[in-house]
């Protein structure tokens, strides 16, 4: 029968083993909105406010980046959150029949 000598050590027949717990930081991903010639600027601002929880002033700045530069960064998230945000944007756009494209890339 093993005997526990502490949270990180296990003793079995007099031998002790120590385990080292090391956690790596998760990879981060940038979420990007891409310009198109059909999606309205107001809708892009609405997406940035509702999905990315941006204040209207910041959402307007990002929308202008999308409009003028062709792409705008919405935020940096872990993989699961980035994928969820991209899916939320695509669903909102599909419901309003806009071709708005959103993507993610490793930061």
Cα–Cα distance, 61 to 12 (Å, whole number): 63
Contact in structure between 96 and 85 (CB atoms under 8 Å): no
Closest CA relative to residue 105, chosen from 9, 6, 5, 31: 31
Predicted pLDDT at 50? 98
**The model's pTM:** 0.78
List helix spans (H) across 1-107.
41-52, 56-69, 79-95
Whether 57 has a pLDDT exceeding 70, the answer reads yes
Higher pLDDT, 8 or 93: 93
Tokens 């090391």 sit at which residue?
22
Closest CA relative to residue 75, chosen from 100, 65, 17, 93: 65
- Under CATH, which number does the domain 24-106 receive? 3.30.1390.10
Mean pLDDT of the chain: 90
């Amino acid at each position: 029968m093993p005997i526990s000598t502490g949270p990180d050590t296990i003793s079995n027949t007099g031998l002790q083993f120590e385990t080292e717990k090391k956690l790596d930081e998760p990879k981060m991903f940038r979420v990007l909105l891409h310009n198109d010639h059909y999606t309205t600027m107001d809708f892009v601002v609405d997406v940035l406010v509702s999905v990315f929880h941006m204040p209207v002033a910041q959402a307007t700045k990002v929308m202008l980046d999308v409009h003028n530069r062709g792409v705008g960064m919405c935020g940096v998230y872990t993989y699961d959150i980035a994928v969820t945000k991209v899916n939320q944007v695509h669903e909102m756009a599909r419901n309003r029949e806009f071709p708005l494209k959103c993507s993610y890339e490793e930061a």
